[in-house]
Amino acid sequence: MPPKSDVSHPARAANPALQLLRQEFTQRNALEAEIDSKFRALNKEFLNALGERAWNWDMQVLLKRQVLSRILHYYEIYKLILPVPGVICEFGVQWGATMATLISLRGMFEPYNHARKIIGFDTFEGFQSIVEQDRGFSAPGQYTVPKKYEEQLDEILSMHEALAPIAHIKKFELVKGDACVTVPRYIEENPHLIVACAIFDFDIFKPTKVAIEAVLPRLVKGSVLVFDEVNCAHFPGETQALLEAIGLNRLRLKVDPHQPYTAYAVWE
C-alpha cells in the first residue's frame, strides 16, 4: 500500500517530520522520512540535469524499494487475469498511479486486447463521508486532489496509452462522483460488462461495500479481487465492507509479502 498523499489535510500541510510521522500510517521511522525528503529534493534537480532523453530512464536511481514492490505486485496481478475476459475496475484512483501502471502493463502483456478497458472510479474530492465502521485514520475530505485534476489525469493516461498499439481506441475511462451512485449506475448502463479484475482502494466502508455488491454479479470464475487495505487497523472499513458484502471465509485471500495490507483472491 503506497502512502496516501493528502494535499488538503491541514496537519500534513503544516510542518515537518515528527508531525508528518504522527499523521501517517506507513510506520516510517525518522531516517526514512529524512531520506524521502532528500529524494524529493534530488528529484527536482535531476529533472533538469538528466536532459531530454535520459530523464525518465535514469530517474530509476530515485525509485524506492517500496514503489518498485508496488509495481511488481500489479505485474503479478495482471498476469493472473490474462486468460480472463473483461475489464479492470479500480475503485479509488486519487492521482492515478495504479491506472498508469495498469495501462503500461496492458501495453506489455496484451497490446491488441482493446476490450480490456480500465475504468477508474473516484470523487476526486476526497472522502465524502465517514461512518462508524471507518473509525481510525479516516476523516472527511482526506485524499482530495487539485480541482479538475481528473481532466489532467485523462490527458496523462492518454499519453501512456499512446505508447502502445491501437492507441486510436480509447481503452480507459475515469468516472467522477460518489461511488455509491456512480458504480451501480455504470454497471446498469453497461449490460455487456464482465469484470476480470476489481481493485478496491476506497479505504472506507460505504463506497467499498457498494462497489463489491455491484460487481459481484459481473465476476466470472478466475476474476481477481484486490483489496488494498484489508486487515488494516488504520482503515477498518474496508475489511468490514468485505465481511458484510461477501464474508471473509468465502475467499481464499492471498497476500504479497511486499505489500502487507494488500490481499487478493481469485473468484472460484
Distance CA(111)–CA(161), nearest Å, equals 10
Least confident of 4-18, 21-35, 60-74: 4-18
**Cα distances (angstroms) measured from residue 51 to each of 48, 57, 139, 197:** 6, 11, 41, 38
What are the structural domain ranges in the chain? 1-63, 64-266
pLDDT in tens, 155-213: 999 999 999 999 999 999 999 999 999 999 999 999 999 999 999 999 889 999 999 99
Q: Spell out a b/e string for 109-139, using b for 16 or more CB atoms within 10 Å of the CB, else e.
A: eeeeeeebbbbbbbbbbbbeebeebbebbbe
- One DSSP character per residue, 8-75 reads T-HHHHH--HHHHHHH-SS---HHHHHHHHHHHHHHHHHHHHSHHHHHHHHGGGG--HHHHHHHHHHH
pLDDT in tens, 78-124: 999 999 999 999 999 999 999 999 999 999 999 999 999 999 999 98
Confidence (pLDDT) at 135: 77
The pTM assigned to this predicted structure is 0.86
pLDDT band of residue 25 (cuts 50, 70, 90) is low
Quick one: CATH architecture of 64-266? 3-Layer(aba) Sandwich (3.40)
Confidence (pLDDT) at 2: 63
Quick check: 89 and 119 in contact, CB under 8 A?
Answer: yes
Confidence (pLDDT) at 42: 82
> Which stretch of DSSP H or E encloses residue 150?
helix 149-161
pLDDT in tens, 30-87: 888 888 888 888 887 877 777 776 677 777 888 888 899 999 999 999 999 999 999 9
Cα-Cα-Cα-Cα torsion 211, 139, 235, 38, nearest 10 degrees, comes to: 110
- Of the candidates 110, 145, 198, the one whose C-alpha atom is nearest the C-alpha of residue 4 is 145
